[in-house]
Amino acid sequence: MTAALRNGVRVRGLRRVFGDRTVLDGVDLDIAPGEFVALLGASGSGKSTLLRALAGLDGSGSGEVDVPGGRAVVYQEHRLLPWSRVWSNVVLGLRGRDLRERAEAALAEVGLAARADAWPLTLSGGESQRVALARALVRTPDLLLLDEPFGALDALTRLNAQALVADLWAEHRPAVLLVTHDVEEALLLADRALLLAGGRIAREYTVGLPRPRSLDDPEFIALRRDL
């Protein structure tokens, strides 16, 4: 394996069965280091199951799953611990020196330096998702897994959060897999969009640079038609 590929994702023939239901039926997927990939698909098509496999949270599938060691996940629900202050949530489970400083630096990147000592229950939904992003960032992941991270946010908060993710990605360049229902979001943020259907990657759209893209882009029109 070349150095350039070392921190990429390579999945071959991934199968995951629940009872008599085959949810993933031979998924092949590559994500290059620093690439931003969106994963689209109907509800129940297995997007979160695939993301969990990449996160290393589900070892029960079969097939080949080769992912970088440094991974971080952001879910639709922020999953902050209400009894830990914001900064402490950011570095939860980490060890080492200067945890407070590291948390503050990550919070500054998401515009929440002033809320380090706040309790999670005093934050808005958008702020909570920013803390969840800071918690991912502080781990300096090679692969950032985002499972419909903006799904619970109102429209304006979602736009701000999308812009923040775009900025953070440009700054840190982890590989990203973004699970989303939202075609516009995929087009706005991703280099490529994949459609998960029938337990496989059924289509791939090379949405391509530069951003922002035109809604007249033929790939965009094809993508909307297929969904």
In the complex, the residues that contact Mg ion under the rule CB under 5 A are 47-48
The residue ranges that bind ligand ADP (CB under 6 A) are 18, 23, 41, 43-49
The minimum distance between CB 205 and ligand ADP, in angstroms, equals 18
User: CB nearest Mg ion: which residue?
Assistant: 48
The minimum distance between CB 43 and ligand ADP, in angstroms, equals 5
The minimum distance between CB 74 and Mg ion, in angstroms, equals 13
The smaller minimum CB distance to Mg ion, of residues 48 and 180, is found at 48
Binds 41: which of Mg ion, ligand ADP, none (CB < 5-8 Å by kind): ligand ADP
The smaller minimum CB distance to Mg ion, of residues 9 and 146, is found at 146
Binds 8: which of Mg ion, ligand ADP, none (CB < 5-8 Å by kind): none
The structure tokens listed for 93 are 């489970």
Binds 214: which of Mg ion, ligand ADP, none (CB < 5-8 Å by kind): none
Binds 128: which of ligand ADP, Mg ion, none (CB < 5-8 Å by kind): none
Binds 49: which of ligand ADP, Mg ion, none (CB < 5-8 Å by kind): ligand ADP
Instruction: State residue 38 phi and psi, 5-degree precision.
Output: -100, 140
